[in-house]
Amino acid sequence: MPNQGASWRERRTHDAAGQVRRLAERQAAETAQARVLIAGFLEAAEHAGITPEPLFARGYGNRGRYRTGLTGWYLRVNESAALDTEGNFYVMTVAGGLRTKLFGATPEPSDPPLILGKGARDGESIDLQEALERVLARRTQPS
């Protein structure tokens, strides 16, 4: 009888490891697709002469606005996601506080998603492709 329990545990462990592996593979594929979209955006932005702007981070709960030293483009109207001029993706939300106010925020780049805000409670998700197209359209319209 004890062998059956070990066999069942081993199967469950193996199955769980397989799920973790498949999830990581799927995320890597999505990141690769997103990076291709971003590279196309950078090329289009340069061709259209769309200049980057200074990027600011916001504190949690939308409290405070902090300089970052980054330049690029916001991907969402609420400025919660951005790209820098190198094509790095940032979530522009930081802890904030006095130190951040004095010295600025240093958001860390992360893997770009294909859907911005996926799974968020606010229900305002947007495809990365659409967000990039909006930035291009917003910046190329005559004033």
pTM, full prediction = 0.80
Calculate helix-pair angle for 2-48, 128-140, nearest 10 degrees. 10
- Please check whether residue 56 is in contact with residue 66, taking contact to mean a CB–CB distance below 8 angstroms: yes
pLDDT of residue 142: 54
In the chain (143 residues long), the average pLDDT of successive 10-residue segments reads 69 85 90 96 94 93 88 93 96 87 91 84 80 86 53
Predicted pLDDT of residue 47: 93
For the chain, the domains span 2-140
pLDDT at 58: 92
